[in-house]
Amino acid sequence: MKLKITAALLFAILGANAQKVDVNKAFKSAALQTDILVKNVDSARLIKPSLVSPRTVENGQLKMVVSRDWTSGFFPAELWYFYEYSKDQKWLNLAKKYTEDIKKEQYNRSTHDLGFMIYCPFGNGYRITRDTAYRSVIIQAAKSLSTRFNTTAGVIRSWDHNADKWKYPVIIDNMMNLELLFEATKFTGDSSFYKIAVTHANNTLKNHFRPDFSSWHVVDYDVETGQVIKKTTAQGYSNESAWARGQAWGLYGYTLCFRYTKNKAYLAHADAIANFILNNKSTPADGIPYWDYNDPQIPKVSRDASAAAITASALYELAKYSKNAKLYKAAADKILHSLSTAYASPAGADYGFILEHSTGHRPAKSEIDVPINYADYYYLEALLRYKGKFNF
Catalytic amino acids? 113, 173
**Shortest reach from residue 214's CB to ligand GLY, in Å:** 16
CB 78 within 8 A of CB 377: yes
CA diameter of the chain: 55
The secondary structure of residue 221, as a DSSP letter, is E
Burial code (b: 16+ CB inside 10 Å, e: under 16) for 82-94 equals: bbbbeeeeebbeb
Give the HSE-up count for residue 166: Cα atoms under 13 Å, Cβ half-sphere: 21
Which residue number, 15 or 123, has a Cβ lying nearer to ligand GLY?
A: 123
Which residue number, 63 or 245, has a Cβ lying nearer to ligand GLY?
A: 245
Is there binding between residue 245 and ligand GLY (CB under 6 A)? yes
Give the C-alpha separation, 105 to 118, whole Å. 7
Which residue number, 70 or 386, has a Cβ lying nearer to ligand GLY?
A: 70
**Shortest reach from residue 117's CB to ligand GLY, in Å:** 11
Give the C-alpha separation, 330 to 159, whole Å. 36
Which residue number, 198 or 375, has a Cβ lying nearer to ligand GLY?
A: 375
Is there binding between residue 105 and ligand GLY (CB under 6 A)? no
Give the C-alpha separation, 120 to 17, whole Å. 32
**Shortest reach from residue 229's CB to ligand GLY, in Å:** 21
Could you tell me the CA-to-CA distances from 355 to 99, 138, 317, 333 in Å, in that order? 22, 29, 22, 16
Cis peptide before 299 (omega within 30 of 0): yes
**Shortest reach from residue 234's CB to ligand GLY, in Å:** 9
Which residue number, 191 or 366, has a Cβ lying nearer to ligand GLY?
A: 366
Number of shown-chain residues binding ligand GLY (CB under 6 A): 5
Residue 21 buriedness (CB in 10 A; 0-12 / 13-18 / 19+): buried
Give the C-alpha separation, 310 to 251, whole Å. 9
**Shortest reach from residue 235's CB to ligand GLY, in Å:** 6
CB 211 within 8 A of CB 274: no
**Shortest reach from residue 178's CB to ligand GLY, in Å:** 14
Could you tell me the CA-to-CA distances from 8 to 13, 310, 357, 376 in Å, in that order? 9, 20, 22, 26
Region 185-244 residues binding ligand GLY, contact defined as CB under 6 A? 235
Sketch the per residue contact string, 65 through 94, with ligand GLY: x for CB under 6 A, - otherwise.
Answer: -----x------------------------
DSSP-derived 3-state class of residue 141: helix
Residue 76's Cα: distance from chain center in Å? 15
Is there binding between residue 173 and ligand GLY (CB under 6 A)? yes
Fill in the amino acid letter for 339: L
Helix (H) / strand (E) element for 389: namely: none
Which residue number, 76 or 360, has a Cβ lying nearer to ligand GLY?
A: 360
DSSP-derived 3-state class of residue 140: helix
**Shortest reach from residue 205's CB to ligand GLY, in Å:** 19
Which residue number, 175 or 267, has a Cβ lying nearer to ligand GLY?
A: 175
Is the torsion defined by CA of 93, 98, 99, 101 positive or negative?
positive
| Residue with the shortest CB distance to ligand GLY | 173
Q: Which residues bind ligand GLY (CB under 6 A)?
A: 70, 173, 235, 245, 360
